[in-house]
Amino acid sequence: MVIVLGGDGAVNEAVNGIMGQRSGAADAGGAPLLAVIPGGGGNVFAQSLGLPVETAAAIARIKEAIQAGRSRTIGLGLAGDRYFTFSAGLGMDAEVVREVERLRASGHRESPALFIRTIVRQYRSGTDRRTPALILERDGQPSVPDLFMTAITNRSPWTYVHGRALLPVPNPDLNSGLDVFALRKLRATTILSAIGQMLLIRGRSTRGRNVLTVTGLESLTVRSVRPIAFQVDGDYLGEIEAVKFQFVPRALHVVA
């Protein structure tokens, strides 16, 4: 068993270490069991497994699950050669992650308020809201150009706001393929409408004239006409121009 005490970044590193020993095999087989004790600012993956964010309560839940022999096998996303547990993104959401990491390095504490302030500041003056750069490509389907940002989720919440999940698509599931949420415009009304739907509506995918959602994909590619910010599981990975995403089913055993 591998036990991780930390946030989503620490979990991501552990998952990539486990998967690196398996060379991308499609079934978890004899891989170690992963237990996550939330210890970061977001703890999105831990919450998506149904764990409480309080450390003591999470330890008690994990101990109970171990004693009962309770675990589950989940799928993962693969972005290029980097596995992710819940989401990856290109564009504004990755720019926000980059800026939050910079602020944390200068002494700011990660919190929902810090993310909200950073989103507002990035929207006002940090991101390009005039020229869309991204193109979505899927096998057997026409490419979708002129996207400003894309989030690829592993059928789990995109993130949480004070414990409530932001769901671009309904019925979160870690075994049903990858989903895409993308924006054709970066207008304040578009963003606020999308976030409101994610917070309040549970029975359908986020809708809107400038919103694109696609569910249950096995693979996809996102290209950019210029270098653009890229993140996985809340870790900024630099700027890229293309990345291929794949769904890896039954990849990881977790305590849940």
Claim to verify: residue 175 and residue 54 sit in the same structural domain: no
Q: How confident is the model at residue 29 (pLDDT cuts 50, 70, 90)?
A: low
- Rg (alpha carbons) of the chain, rounded to whole number: 18
Claim to verify: residue 18 and residue 87 sit in the same structural domain: no
Claim to verify: residue 233 and residue 119 sit in the same structural domain: yes
Whole-number average pLDDT of the chain: 93
pLDDT reported for residue 219: 98
Question: Considering the domain boundaries, does residue 92 fall inside one?
Answer: yes
Question: Considering the domain boundaries, does residue 231 fall inside one?
Answer: yes
pLDDT reported for residue 111: 77
Claim to verify: residue 63 and residue 97 sit in the same structural domain: no
Entry field: residues in the chain: 256
CB burial class (10 A; 0-12, 13-18, 19+) of residue 145? Answer: middle
Claim to verify: residue 209 and residue 237 sit in the same structural domain: yes
- pTM for the full predicted model: 0.92
Model pLDDT for residues 85-95, shown as the tens digit of each residue = 999 999 999 99
Claim to verify: residue 64 and residue 115 sit in the same structural domain: no
Residue bearing tokens 């409530």:
164
pLDDT reported for residue 213: 96
Instruction: Give the least confident one: 20-24, 212-216, 251-255.
Output: 20-24
Question: Considering the domain boundaries, does residue 255 fall inside one?
Answer: no
Where among 34, 59, 76 does a domain terminate? 76
Tokens of 87: 């989401």
Claim to verify: residue 194 and residue 128 sit in the same structural domain: yes
Claim to verify: residue 34 and residue 65 sit in the same structural domain: yes
Claim to verify: residue 123 and residue 21 sit in the same structural domain: no
Instruction: Give the least confident one: 118-122, 135-139, 250-254.
Output: 118-122
Whether residue 24 is predicted with pLDDT greater than 60 in this model: the reply is no
Q: What are the φ and ψ backbone dihedral angles of 95, each rounded to 5 degrees?
A: -65, -40
User: Which H or E element spans position 219?
Assistant: strand 219-232
Quote the domain boundaries for residue 204. 83-247
Residues 154 and 86: beta-carbon distance below 8 Å: yes
Question: Considering the domain boundaries, does residue 65 fall inside one?
Answer: yes
Claim to verify: residue 22 and residue 102 sit in the same structural domain: no
pLDDT reported for residue 116: 85
Tokens of 254: 């977790």
CA 48, CA 123: separation in Å to the nearest integer? 28
Claim to verify: residue 150 and residue 230 sit in the same structural domain: yes
- Mean pLDDT, range 240-244, rounded to an integer: 98
Question: Considering the domain boundaries, does residue 252 fall inside one?
Answer: no
CA torsion sign, 7 to 8 to 11 to 12?
Answer: negative
Claim to verify: residue 135 and residue 187 sit in the same structural domain: yes
Give how far Cα 222 sits from Cα of 133, 208, 235, 245, Å.
10, 21, 18, 8
pLDDT reported for residue 230: 98
pLDDT reported for residue 91: 96
Whether residue 26 is predicted with pLDDT greater than 60 in this model: the reply is no
At how many degrees (to 10) do helices 92-105 and 112-121 cross?
120
Whether residue 28 is predicted with pLDDT greater than 80 in this model: the reply is no
Pairing of strands 235-255, 33-38: parallel
Question: Considering the domain boundaries, does residue 220 fall inside one?
Answer: yes
pLDDT reported for residue 10: 95
